[in-house]
Amino acid sequence: MASRLRRTLLAALVTAAVVFPVSAAAGPSAVPAPPPAALGPLDAAELPLLQARFAANRDNIREAARVAADHGDRRRAASLDVMAAGGRQLLTFDGRDGGRTAEVFGDLAHADRIALLVPGSDTNLDTYERFRAGAVTLFDATRAAGGTRTAVVAWLGYATPGTVSTDVLTTGRADDAARQLRAFAREMKAARPRAGLSLLCHSYGSVVCARAAQGLDAADIAFYGSPGTGADSVGELGTRATVWAGRGRGDWIADVPHVRLELPGTDIGFGTDPVSDGFGARVFDAGDGGHSDYLRPGTVSLDNLALIAAGRAGQVPGA
């Protein structure tokens, strides 16, 4: 009976994905943008090079805003005008295909810890400020936790799937994104080789991180609000990192069936629940919040993720 119920629920998810959201898929990626600025390898040790990199990306964002405005997309143009504000530290930017960017908070040139935030579905240039707000609160929380030399990077490095879409039920987007995440994480380690690296991965972003985990020199990988990772256990991830998992008691993702179904040409679903005993992660308390609440100020989940990001995992209750 339980197996039949899981299959029925998953079939309903697939049906919803096919029926409802065609208009959402055509939105962010359809806005034209210029090619990204030509940038050399990241060198966090050279502050003038970092500042030049930030300036080049700001110029590219302003040009992308002009192109979006000429195209008639005022929402995208307005979003980009906000991103181009002085003082923003954009390590990468590409306005094409929904947008890619990476923004750093804190002093990357002197960081002894680097936390990469990896977002889930429906994150693009039009919704980026919401994702950025979580990175800001995490950065503030790491400082409160004693991580005064922790840099936080909001990494929007892939075309995220729509929340209601067939893509969000498979690893297809994650397989492509994992290659980009692995390359970016290695660039971070090359720039700051002695800095401890953590991946903080929300929702579908946990699938991306799981696919990227093997071979990465990461100290910690934290999955939160995860529908599953595509792996049945921590051992399958092929990582030496400490793997964490948390889920808020009000998060609807708990009701997503943790199964994987083999269909012609693809698999649907992500398998074992990361907070289950069988998966083998260290489970941290994520409080009572919902799916979008993990990085809200004052939450238990934010406090614990900040401790992990700051390299103070031993202070996580129950760790």
Residue 218: C-alpha distances to residues 1, 183, 185, 239 (Å): 41, 13, 9, 8
Pick from 6-20, 24-38, 193-207, 271-285: least confident? 6-20
pLDDT exceeds 60 at position 235: yes
The rounded distance, in Å, linking the Cα atoms of 241 and 234 is: 10
pLDDT of residue 167: 73
Per-residue model confidence as pLDDT tens digits over 287-300: 999 999 999 999 99
pLDDT exceeds 90 at position 170: no
Per-residue model confidence as pLDDT tens digits over 100-131: 999 999 999 999 999 999 999 999 999 999 99
Residue 243: C-alpha distances to residues 16, 281, 311 (Å): 32, 5, 13
Cα pseudo-dihedral 302, 305, 309, 311, rounded to 10: 120
Q: What is the DSSP string of 180-197?
A: HHHHHHHHHHHHSTTSEE
pLDDT exceeds 90 at position 266: no
Say which residue the tokens 């987007």 belong to: 173
Report the pLDDT averaged over residues 233-258.
96
Per-residue model confidence as pLDDT tens digits over 174-230: 889 999 999 999 999 999 999 999 999 999 999 999 999 998 999 999 999 999 999
Per-residue model confidence as pLDDT tens digits over 50-63: 999 999 999 999 99
Cα 203 from chain centroid?
8
The rounded distance, in Å, linking the Cα atoms of 203 and 292 is: 9
- % of the chain with per-residue pLDDT over 70: 89
Q: Which residues have a Cβ under 8 Å from the Cβ of 196 and sit 6 or more positions away?
A: 112, 113, 114, 219, 220, 311
pLDDT of residue 10: 47
The rounded distance, in Å, linking the Cα atoms of 25 and 29 is: 8
pLDDT of residue 265: 64
Angle at 305 between CA 301 and CA 307, to 5 degrees: 120
Report the pLDDT averaged over residues 32-41.
92
Q: Which residues have a Cβ under 8 Å from the Cβ of 43 and sit 6 or more positions away?
A: 49, 50, 191
Pick from 14-28, 170-184, 282-296: least confident? 14-28
Per-residue model confidence as pLDDT tens digits over 37-95: 999 888 776 778 899 999 999 999 999 999 999 999 999 999 999 999 888 999 999 99
Helix (H, G, I), strand (E, B) or coil at 1: coil
User: Residue 239 has which token pair?
Assistant: 């990582």
pLDDT of residue 42: 84
- % of the chain with per-residue pLDDT over 90: 74
pLDDT of residue 64: 97
pLDDT of residue 48: 84
